[in-house]
Structure 1
Amino acid sequence: MSYLIDMHNHTISSGHAYSTIQEIAKVASDKGLKYVGITDHGPSLQGAANIWHIGNLRVVPETIYGVNILKGVEANILNEFGDIDVPEKFLEHLDIVLAGLHEGPSEIMDVYRNTQAVLNVMENKYVDIIVHLGNPRFPIHYEEIVLKAKETNKLIEINNSSLHTSRSGSKDNCLEIALICKKYNVPMIFSSDSHISFDVGRFDEIFKLLEGANIPEELIINSTVERFENYMKAKGKHRFVQ
């Protein structure tokens, strides 16, 4: 199966990634992708660009090398109240908004407070995707999160990078999350979390992890372009309802 949409990609502006938007778009085009999200880290993560970088994404073309470029951010969840480091006046102009717990910006909390942080961020109408929930450094109650995602129409990310280069110890957690999503019929999205252009659209470790899990294709929002576009339209994202 060919997945032509990858909503989680980092450029040199994240401070610990190694490609430009143009380089990401070129590799995406070469691989036949239709949509990529440019989702650099929010400003509270060490090395990330300041908030005006996010605000100025409007200068980026909507299409590069035939690939639709969605302008976004990976915001940092700061505390148990679900506060993030990107103000609404910036979020409302973005095409896609990711949010997650990260070492550094996020408070070090117990499983209850981590869970509350994610539950509360899902109340933010601008947030679309909750990222790398399998990270063992931030234990959470997965079933509560999945049910809240269903209630608030948020997407649960299954993150390829968590399975081979980042967040060691995530594999079993990611499988558990996917199976809970399957149990409750909650949509997911596969993401590369690329930090270099060559990894854009890379989902190989996810496919290995979920082999035999019998996850229904209709639960994977980016398994078809039509499914992804319909989801974005239903959310009222301005890029898709004009």
Structure 2
Amino acid sequence: MNIIADLHTHTNISEHAFSTLEENCIAGNKIGLDAVGITNHGPALEDGASHWHFKSLGKNNPGKMHGVYLISGIELNIMQDGSIDLEEEYLSNLDLVIASFHQEVFYPKDKNHVNDMLNEAITNKNINVFGHLGNEIFKFDYEDIISKCNKYDKVVEVNNHSFVQRPGSDVNCLEIIKLCKKYEVPIMVNSDAHISSSIGHFEDAIAVIEKAGYPEELIVNSSMDRLQDYFKHIKGIDILNR
């Protein structure tokens, strides 16, 4: 399986990550990736980036850096009421908006609570991708949400970092990927790297995807043609020519 872009990475703009934007791009180029996405956490997390970071990142994206296409993005927080932690005026300048649950700002009451908030978030036109949905702490009705993703133009991320940091993700992700296959929901494979040496590590994610028999042609970042078509579709931009 060929993955040509790592679109969920963090930089040392956050205290819990350790490399610069340039170091991430250099690492991506070194291992042969075509594109790298910078998606620091939204401001609701204690060490998340401020709104100024995202405004500047969106407006000052050079298009290409150290031989890879640079995708300006964010990993938003889905909040207790299903809202997100950054206003549309800042998100509109970004290429990619990933939305995820994090324990530090979302305290799930039960499975129904998580499901209700996902049903709220799925209608938000600013969100492009749901991040690391396989987290055991945030269980929900997988079929209910996955069956609606195409209606609301949402992609499901398979997050390699989860298989180390979020116990139970392997089993949950397998179930989610099988449902994505059933409903032909596109997925995106990312490392969620917090240091440049983790850029492009997709091994555990790919193993689960292959186990599920998920078709490569539905993986957004499995070729530059697919990636280019995706960004033309969601943002009306040509990432190869800007």
**Shared fold (TM-score greater than 0.5)?**
yes
Within a 5 Å distance, the mapping from 1:136-215 to structure 2 comes to 136-164=136-164, 166-215=165-214
Aligned length: 240
Q: 2:63 & 2:227 partners in 1: Cα distance? A: 17
State whether residues 228 and 238 of structure 2, in contact with CA within 8 Å, keep that contact through their aligned partners in structure 1: no
Q: Post-superposition shift, 1:9?
A: 0.2
How far does the alpha carbon of each residue in 1:147-200 deviate from its partner, in whole angstroms, 9 at most, with x for none?
121111110001100012x11221100000000111111111111100111111
Q: 2:36 & 2:103 partners in 1: Cα distance? A: 25
How far does the alpha carbon of each residue in 1:106-140 deviate from its partner, in whole angstroms, 9 at most, with x for none?
24332112112112212111211100001011111
Structure 2 match to 1:48: 48
State whether residues 9 and 38 of structure 1, in contact with CA within 8 Å, keep that contact through their aligned partners in structure 2: yes
| Other structure's SS at 1:210 match | helix
Matched AA of 1:72: G
How far does the alpha carbon of each residue in 1:47-72 deviate from its partner, in whole angstroms, 9 at most, with x for none?
22222122221234221111111111
State whether residues 123 and 152 of structure 2, in contact with CA within 8 Å, keep that contact through their aligned partners in structure 1: yes
Identity of matched residues, %: 38
Structure-1-length-normalised TM-score: 0.94
Matched, 1:95 2:90: no
Give 5+ residue unaligned stretches, structure 2: none
Q: 1:132 & 1:7 partners in 2: Cα distance? A: 13
Within a 5 Å distance, the mapping from 1:120-139 to structure 2 comes to 120-139=120-139
Structure 2 match to 1:77: 78
| Other structure's SS at 2:150 match | helix
* RMSD, matched Cα: 1.6
Structure-2-length-normalised TM-score: 0.94
Matched, 1:226 2:235: no
Runs of 4+ in 1 over 4 A off after TM superposition: 239-242
State whether residues 95 and 239 of structure 1, in contact with CA within 8 Å, keep that contact through their aligned partners in structure 2: no
Q: 2:108 & 2:214 partners in 1: Cα distance? A: 33
| Other structure's SS at 1:68 match | strand
State whether residues 96 and 128 of structure 2, in contact with CA within 8 Å, keep that contact through their aligned partners in structure 1: yes
